[in-house]
């Protein structure tokens, strides 16, 4: 579906997206890229990261597609070899190269992948630093990495419970904490005139009531929402950083759906879902664009429910 937003609405912004190579995270990465952002993806699986990045590198603002190679680096090299034909002083050539490199980066959005597990503080630190080194700034952090499986509370071990909290809740906090010095107003890589960056934490609606066989995820997502609100208060006040959440309902074609709710939900959607259908990853990505763009500049500490109204509903009698 065509985006309702202008293609360049995120131009010049750099986003780091955990879980950005698959499912909802990948759609957010893709749509951010299509709307002009440069994106860094963090994930645990090298192969998945590689293929996600190569898809993203083929995206650029349509008007420039016909003018440049897809990769900014290739474009840069193309120009560079052109200038090499003239015998200019090396300092001048270096200056021109630097200007061209930054220009190519500005014109074309870029994607890069960094392997890492949000449960490991050293990975979180390394990936955030690498993103900054690569792009020179960080404007947006999206915490989309998550873990899940269906299990009754009785059969869940404390370690199973802890594992999901470690990924979803502690992982989200760790990433926010590592990114703070780059996101805050006046922080590293931010000019004094630009404000703070923004954070989006992906949660769920499971914990609004109770959910069968998902005690661990419900607890984890409740903690994510609490983290969103608390950081919005503290970091909004102190650092001009907006922190918001998105709570998706059942979204088709995601690892979550195939793992948690096999075909059954899709086929019965019409019976009990207010809008008679599952959501799409696109719906979540558009919400993310809205929140991180200037359209959402006065939204802070909110958790936008994107489930077509499902959380309000009860089965028909
Ligand atoms: C019971 C289980 C289990 C299962 C793991 N465990 N799977 N217990 N039933 N099906 C327990 C293990 O026994 C172990 O406890 C502990 O959890 C850690 O398991 P590991 O396999 O060592 O963990 P790990 O390899 O790190 O894998 C993490 C994972 C895995 C969460 C278990 O599923 C994963 O990596 N998932 C990432 C991808 C994913 O789940 N995506 C879907 C997100 S969907 P013991 O006691 O034995 O040591 C989503 C949507 C939420 O988040 C909203 C829905 C609407």
ipTM: 0.96
Q: Is the pLDDT of residue 214 over 70?
A: yes
Which of 163, 247, 308 for mutating ligand 1's site (highest number of atoms within 8 Å of CB)? 163
CA-based torsion, 64, 66, 71, 74: positive or negative: negative
Domain annotation for the chain: domains and CATH numbers: 14-59+109-312 (3.40.50.720)
Q: Taking CB atoms and a 6 Å cutoff, what residues make up the pocket around ligand 1?
A: 146-149, 151, 156-157, 159-160, 163-164, 204, 206, 217, 255-256, 259-260
SS3 state at 78: helix
Ligand 1 centroid to residue 206 C-alpha, Å: 17
* CA–CA gap between residue 171 and residue 269 (Å, rounded): 32
* CA–CA gap between residue 113 and residue 104 (Å, rounded): 19
Q: Tokens standing for 22?
A: 């698959």
- pLDDT of 68 reads 44
- pLDDT of 100 reads 66
Return the higher-pLDDT residue of 181 and 97: 181
Ligand 1 centroid to residue 298 C-alpha, Å: 36
Write the CA distances from 45 to 20, 22, 42, 122, 162, integer angstroms.
11, 10, 9, 17, 21
pLDDT tens for each residue of 34-60: 999 999 999 999 999 999 999 998 875
- pLDDT of 106 reads 57
Closest atom, ligand 1, to C-alpha of 44: 35
**How buried is residue 288: exposed, middle or buried, by Cβ count under 10 Å (0-12/13-18/19+)?**
buried
**Rounded average pLDDT over 56-70:** 55
* CA–CA gap between residue 237 and residue 18 (Å, rounded): 25
CA-based torsion, 3, 286, 56, 139: positive or negative: positive
Closest atom, ligand 1, to C-alpha of 168: 52
For the chain, give the percent of residues with pLDDT over 70. 83
**Rounded average pLDDT over 219-228:** 98
Ligand 1 centroid to residue 163 C-alpha, Å: 7
Q: Among all chains, which residue has been given the structure tokens 């019976």?
A: 271
Ligand 1 centroid to residue 297 C-alpha, Å: 36
Closest atom, ligand 1, to C-alpha of 167: 31
The alpha-carbon radius of gyration of the chain (Å, integer) is: 21
**Rounded average pLDDT over 306-317:** 82
Please tell me the pTM assigned to this model: 0.88
**How buried is residue 12: exposed, middle or buried, by Cβ count under 10 Å (0-12/13-18/19+)?**
middle
Which of 149, 254, 260 for mutating ligand 1's site (highest number of atoms within 8 Å of CB)? 149
φ/ψ of 99, rounded to 5, equals: -65, -45
């Amino acid at each position: 579906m065509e985006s309702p937003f202008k293609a360049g609405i995120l131009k010049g912004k750099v986003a780091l997206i955990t879980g950005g190579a698959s499912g909802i995270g990948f759609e957010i990465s893709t749509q951010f890229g299509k709307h002009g952002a440069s994106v860094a993806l963090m994930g645990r699986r090298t192969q998945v990261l590689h293929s996600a990045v190569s898809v993203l590198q083929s995206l650029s603002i349509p008007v420039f597609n016909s003018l440049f190679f897809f990769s900014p680096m290739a474009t840069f090299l193309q120009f560079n070899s052109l200038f090499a034909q003239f015998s200019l002083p090396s300092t001048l050539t270096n200056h021109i190269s630097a200007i061209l490199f930054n220009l190519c980066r500005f014109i074309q959005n870029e994607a890069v992948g960094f392997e890492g597990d949000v449960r490991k503080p050293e990975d979180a630190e390394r990936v955030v630093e690498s993103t900054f080194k690569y792009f020179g700034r960080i404007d947006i952090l999206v915490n989309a990495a998550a873990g899940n499986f269906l299990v009754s509370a009785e059969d869940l071990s404390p370690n199973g419970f802890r594992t999901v909290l470690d990924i979803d809740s502690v992982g989200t906090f760790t990433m926010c904490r590592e990114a703070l010095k780059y996101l805050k107003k006046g922080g590293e890589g931010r000019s004094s005139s630009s404000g703070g960056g923004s954070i989006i934490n992906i949660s769920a609606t499971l914990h609004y009531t109770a959910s069968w066989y998902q005690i661990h995820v419900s607890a984890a997502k409740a903690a994510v929402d609490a983290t969103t609100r608390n950081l919005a208060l503290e970091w909004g006040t102190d650092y001009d950083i907006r922190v918001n959440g998105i709570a998706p309902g059942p979204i088709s074609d995601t690892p979550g759906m195939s793992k948690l709710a096999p075909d059954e939900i899709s086929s019965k959607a019409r019976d009990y879902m207010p809008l008679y259908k599952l959501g799409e990853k696109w719906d979540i990505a558009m919400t993310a664009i809205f929140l991180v763009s200037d359209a959402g500049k006065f939204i802070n500490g909110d958790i936008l429910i994107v489930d077509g109204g499902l959380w309000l509903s009860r089965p028909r009698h």
